[in-house]
């Protein structure tokens, strides 16, 4: 797995990027995140510890592997969240997120 | 959004298949009765979990095809080659069978009336499913109210390999026929019928310029399909001046993702 890269990269919606069919949207992590958090985290905002950009988690990129789910920043490719499931636990590494902000009110 | 503190935890539920509707040679719709379904918004998905006798579990996400107004939950599934879940759902599941699912999931890729319009939908293959839920919802709420329809016009650009593989083909034609504010455009990338007058290539910037509202109209854009299609369309629309925040995407990969 690649570590945090300081090299700036173009965001997916504005530039070219190697095609990777395994890449899906933050939306795809909603199910596993619901095992950790009651609020829907796909509409929460996360600040990337790599480039400092704040984005809706649904707009981040998800790489789903057999072992778990890796959520990356589309701006700098830094891993923002890693979630893995074992037979007995759900494990979250959120060191790539400086903050996660959840709205307290209805839209 | 449901306020924090009142949001129900998403739990696994046992649904019953009440009908199986063939859509295209490779897709069918499972109509489900889900006990105590809390309701959903157009564009959301469910996780489906299959458990083998030895305890092995496989989980996949499927977009909801039915609008919130429909008492039954519909999932349209595509039979993928080597798809361990999709082949079960496609070949083995019949009326009366049970299916374990949880949802609704995901509040990001959703559209309903308060989100506003114009509504621009771009889909590829089975990526039409969540977009169809949006169109069905729009039709169910607006009905024949001409003023409301003109306030929330919708356009769908839908890419399929062939005419036979266009999912919801007849329903899309019916919806567009009775609603002058809904425009449905097809592109067929492999085979097309004789005298086909629609597009016959992959979606490109020129096609988007022709079909999409200009960026100044601030359409709410939803793109769903295979990753390369979604990324190409999103890149082109942002290149045409659409605000990234108004362009929402749902890519699906080969095994996970929404089908």
Beta bridge partners of A99: A47
Q: Which residues contact A15 (CB under 8 A, 6 or more apart)?
A: A9, B235
Asked if B228 reaches chain A (Cβ–Cβ under 8 Å), the answer is yes
Asked if A19 reaches chain B (Cβ–Cβ under 8 Å), the answer is yes
d(CA B197, nearest CA chain A) in Å: 31
What was the pLDDT predicted at B220?
98
Cross-chain residue pair B251–A57, CB shorter than 8 Å: no
Residue B101 vs residues A80, B52, B69, B167, B245: alpha-carbon distances, Å: 28, 15, 20, 23, 31
Q: For residue range B20-75, what is the model confidence (pLDDT) as tens digits?
A: 999 999 999 999 999 999 999 999 999 999 988 888 888 888 999 999 999 999 99
What was the pLDDT predicted at A20?
58
The answer to whether residue A9 scores a pLDDT higher than 60 is no
Residues from chain A contacting residue B2 (CB–CB below 8 Å): 39-40, 106
B171/B76 Cα distance (integer angstroms): 14
B233/B189 Cα distance (integer angstroms): 15
What was the pLDDT predicted at A23?
78
A39/A94 Cα distance (integer angstroms): 17
8 A C-beta contact, residue A8 and residue B216: no
Q: For residue range B83-138, what is the model confidence (pLDDT) as tens digits?
A: 788 888 888 899 999 999 999 999 999 999 999 999 999 999 999 999 999 999 99
- The more confident residue out of A15 and B100 is B100
Structure tokens at A53: 């950009």
> 3-class SS at B87?
helix
Q: Which residues contact B223 (CB under 8 A, 6 or more apart)?
A: B121, B122, B123, B127, B229, B230, B233, B234, B237, B247, B248, B249, B250
Residues from chain B contacting residue A11 (CB–CB below 8 Å): 244
Alpha carbon B17 to chain centroid distance?
20
| Distance in Å from the first CA to the final CA of chain A | 37
What was the pLDDT predicted at B253?
60
The helix-helix angle for B169-177 and B128-142 (nearest 10°) equals 30
φ/ψ region of B123 (left if φ > 0, alpha if ψ in -120 to 50, else beta) reads: beta
Using only the alpha carbons of chain A, give its radius of gyration.
13
Place of tokens 């990129």: A61
Domains and CATH numbers, chain B: 12-105 (2.40.30.10), 113-252 (3.40.50.80)
φ/ψ region of B225 (left if φ > 0, alpha if ψ in -120 to 50, else beta) reads: left
Confidence of residue A5 (pLDDT cuts 50, 70, 90): very low
Q: Which residues contact B112 (CB under 8 A, 6 or more apart)?
A: B41, B42, B68, B134, B137
Structure tokens at A54: 């704040």
A24/A64 Cα distance (integer angstroms): 8
Pairing of strands B98-105, B12-24: antiparallel
* Residue B235: closest C-alpha in chain A: A13
Element (H, E) at B49: strand B45-51
Cross-chain residue pair B59–A64, CB shorter than 8 Å: no
Cross-chain residue pair A64–B253, CB shorter than 8 Å: yes
B120/B243 Cα distance (integer angstroms): 13
Is ipTM over 0.90?
Answer: no
Q: What are residue B17's phi and psi, to 5 degrees?
A: -75, 120
Residues from chain B contacting residue A64 (CB–CB below 8 Å): 253, 255-257
Residues from chain B contacting residue A23 (CB–CB below 8 Å): 227, 251, 253
What was the pLDDT predicted at B2?
47
């Amino acid at each position: 797995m690649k570590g945090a890269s300081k090299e700036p990269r173009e965001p997916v919606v504005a530039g070219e990027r190697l095609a990777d069919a395994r890449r899906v949207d933050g939306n795809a992590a909603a199910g596993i995140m619901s095992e950790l958090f009651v609020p829907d985290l796909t509409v929460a905002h996360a600040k990337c510890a790599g480039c400092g950009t704040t984005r809706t988690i649904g707009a981040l990129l998800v790489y789903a592997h057999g072992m778990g789910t890796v959520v990356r920043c589309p701006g700098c490719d830094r891993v923002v969240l890693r979630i893995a499931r074992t037979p007995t636990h759900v494990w979250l590494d959120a060191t790539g997120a400086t903050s996660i902000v959840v709205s307290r009110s209805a839209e | 959004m449901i306020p924090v503190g009142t949001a129900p935890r998403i739990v696994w539920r046992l649904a019953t298949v009440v009908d199986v509707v063939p859509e295209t040679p490779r897709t069918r719709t499972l109509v489900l009765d889900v006990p105590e379904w809390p309701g959903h918004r157009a564009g959301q998905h469910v996780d489906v979990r299959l458990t083998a006798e030895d305890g092995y579990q496989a989980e996949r996400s499927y977009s909801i095809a039915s609008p919130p107004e429909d008492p039954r939950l519909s999932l349209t599934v595509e039979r993928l080659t080597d798809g361990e879940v999709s082949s079960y759902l496609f070949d083995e599941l019949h009326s009366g069978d049970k299916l374990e699912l949880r949802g609704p999931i995901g509040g990001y890729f959703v559209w309903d009336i308060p989100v506003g319009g114009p509504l621009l939908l771009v889909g590829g293959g089975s990526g039409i499913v969540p977009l169809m839920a949006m169109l069905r919802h729009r039709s169910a709420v607006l009905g024949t109210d001409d003023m409301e329809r003109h306030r929330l016009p919708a356009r769908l650009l839908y890419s399929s390999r062939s005419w036979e593989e266009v999912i919801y083909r007849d329903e899309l034609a019916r919806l567009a026929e009775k609603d002058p504010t809904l425009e449905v455009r097809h592109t067929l990338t492999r085979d097309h019928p004789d005298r086909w007058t629609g597009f016959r290539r992959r979606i490109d910037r020129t096609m988007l310029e022709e079909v999409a509202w200009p960026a100044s109209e601030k359409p709410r854009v939803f793109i769903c399909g295979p990753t390369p299609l979604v990324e190409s369309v999103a890149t082109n629309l942002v290149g045409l001046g659409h605000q990234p925040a108004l362009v929402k995407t749902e890519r699906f990969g080969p095994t996970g993702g929404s089908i």
